[in-house]
Amino acid sequence: PGWAHYQAGVLVNSGVIKVDITQDLYHRLQVIADEVKRLSFDCNASVLVYEDIPTGKFGKFGMNKTSVASLQRALGATMGASMADHSIGIRPNVWKKLARPSYKKGDERDAIEMGYIICKVAREILDDKPKKKTKAKA
């Protein structure tokens, strides 16, 4: 899985969690959990953004049940290990519609793009927030 660290809307660092596919499931999930815990501590993560894979429409997204189950297990390990205060799931069909024209597929690039989109949407929400009215002093 890819990861990206944003701070105040700016990309700070990114990478891929290396998992040895020859290891059994338990060890692969443990590697993911250990790395997520380390990253969330090192980055002082406050929000975890994850790709929310739909479980009911396998063929629609080009995945079979085994692929979806594997991704769900990895997501469980990630969410369980994260020390972030909040999490935001974003569906693949949503973030890919919002992706920049320069986006190219890849685990790390997917993480960078999802983070970029969440930061952009958050900025738009904050910019659109009604301003508090203040009473003039007499």
Q: Print pLDDT tens along the chain (138 aa).
A: 999 999 999 999 999 999 999 999 999 999 999 999 999 999 999 999 999 988 766 555 567 888 888 889 999 999 999 999 999 999 999 999 999 999 999 999 999 999 999 999 999 998 886 666 555 555
Instruction: Specify the 3-state DSSP secondary structure of 104.
Output: coil
Residue 90 corresponds to which amino acid?
I
Residue 41 corresponds to which amino acid?
F
Q: How many angstroms separate the CA atoms of 96 and 79, rounded?
A: 22
pTM: 0.84
Q: How many angstroms separate the CA atoms of 134 and 51, rounded?
A: 41
Q: How many angstroms separate the CA atoms of 116 and 137, rounded?
A: 42
7 phi and psi angles, rounded to 5 deg: -130, 125
